[in-house]
Amino acid sequence: MTVDAPTSPRPFHRLDISAPEFWKNDFRTRDDTFAALRAEDGLSWHPPTPSIFPHAETGFWAVTRHSDIQHVSRNHELFCSSQGVSMDPMPAEIQRAMTFFLAMDPPEHTRYRRLINIAFTPRQIRLIEDQIRTSAREIVDELVADLEANGTVDFAAEYSRKMPMRTISDMIGVAPEDREKIADAVESLFGASDEEYSSLEERAPHLMTQLAILAGVGTELAAARREDPRDDLMTNIVNAEVDGHRLTDEEIGAFMVLLGSAGNDTTKQASSHALAALVDHPEQRDWLLADFDARIDGAVEEFVRWSTPVIHFARHATEDTEVAGTRIDAGEKVVLFYCSGNRDESVFHRPHEFDITRTPNPHVGFGAPGPHSCLGRQLAKMELRHLFHELLTRLPDISVGEPEYVHSDFVHGIKRMPISLR
């Protein structure tokens, strides 16, 4: 059963981006609608998406232009995260459990973000580069053997998750036997709107189950590290103090959910989309391989722009304000559509073309500059760099079958994508 929304204070825009059917369209088709919204003056007002949770939301403003996404992301005093970051109406406490400090504002946000910042400094990331390089080799060893034995392999379902799952698990200190459990829970959490994972009726209990699995792994690991400290992020977290107190089990569980979800499904999806795009554009693959080390960093930026694994995040206005000449009332929700910002024709030349030579490439795939901008971007880029080095040099000639997409307004995901040796 869905819950009816209260009456809207103003008419809704004629283009409906709230209906689940809209999100069944492919990314390119959806952008025809976003392009129409980008071309209009001001922002557009839309109905709340169907929700299983009771709520008092009357609608949301769609922020579709690159420059407006930047404005909202930068001005966290005017557009806060603590009232929720999801387009779908959802109780703030569930959002907190799902996204932890992503749904906080400075200064509280800064205190928690700082805790894991230590693990994401360029120096720390360089230290784990060897481990990422080794993982890339091992994963592609397995993939090559599987392709040679079976001819066709489902890259999206079986391989794309391996690199991020190993990297983030090693970093936190998750035991190898728990890695799959985390990756399964995260995929199922991110794909919650897809009927394959849960029907609308099942969605609330389904979300809670996946959250409990992730939080459970976090708190068990925390208990183990309190007893027996190691050189990993979880040991840092259990020993850290925020505002003079050690983190509670609930906070540690939420940390686990944030890192597990932010670090896994995003990079995984970027790798499936990028592999398909490079196979579709052999001339770009050849250009990249001709001077891989010099060209891969720019290419990875295009992988992220092209794939835009995270479709949106939301903010709420803290006072009456204005965006692009449209008045926004205090308390109203604005949704930042990164999928649209990354196809904004005023910023990107031929935005619908995959082009790894694109420069500059100021995409908003990792979010726009601001306090919440992706903490794991350097790590994600390093994972993609090493994974694609192995994939392209050792599998120069593969074909890719038709991808099957996740039905979601939050993740631009591929569920299945067969690849074969030519």
Residues near ligand HEM (CB under 6 A) are: 73, 101-102, 113, 168, 258-259, 262-263, 266-267, 270, 304, 309-310, 313, 338, 365-367, 370, 372-376, 379-380
CB of 267 to ligand HEM, least distance (A): 4
SS3 112: helix
Please, which residue, 52 or 276, has the CB nearer to ligand HEM?
Answer: 276
Q: What is the DSSP pairing of strand 241-242 with strand 245-246?
A: antiparallel
Per the CB < 8 A criterion, the answer to whether 339 and 304 are in contact is no
Q: Which residue of this chain has its Cβ atom nearest to ligand HEM in the complex?
A: 376
Please, which residue, 173 or 309, has the CB nearer to ligand HEM?
Answer: 309
CB of 146 to ligand HEM, least distance (A): 24
Please, which residue, 13 or 101, has the CB nearer to ligand HEM?
Answer: 101
| 275-282 contacts at long range (C-beta below 8 A, 24 or more positions apart) | 275/155, 275/388, 275/391, 275/400, 275/417, 275/419, 276/400, 276/403, 276/414, 276/417, 277/303, 277/306, 277/354, 278/388, 278/392, 279/398, 279/399, 279/400, 279/419, 280/354, 280/400, 281/354
Please, which residue, 102 or 217, has the CB nearer to ligand HEM?
Answer: 102
Please, which residue, 58 or 271, has the CB nearer to ligand HEM?
Answer: 271
CB of 151 to ligand HEM, least distance (A): 30
Q: At a CB cut-off of 8 Å and minimum separation 6, what does 395 contact?
A: 140, 143, 144, 147, 421
In degrees, rounded to 5, the angle at the alpha carbon of residue 171 between the alpha carbons of residues 414 and 415 is 10
Please, which residue, 89 or 367, has the CB nearer to ligand HEM?
Answer: 367
* 52-91 per-residue burial string, b: 16 or more CB within 10 A, e: under 16: beebebbbbbbbbbbebbbbbbebbebbbbbbbbbbbbbe
CB of 205 to ligand HEM, least distance (A): 26
CB of 37 to ligand HEM, least distance (A): 20
CB of 54 to ligand HEM, least distance (A): 26
CB of 262 to ligand HEM, least distance (A): 3
Please, which residue, 288 or 380, has the CB nearer to ligand HEM?
Answer: 380
Alpha-carbon distance of 366 to 69, in angstroms, equals: 12
Q: What torsion do the CA atoms of 388, 393, 399, 402 make, to the nearest 10 degrees?
A: 0
CB of 382 to ligand HEM, least distance (A): 9
Please, which residue, 52 or 278, has the CB nearer to ligand HEM?
Answer: 278
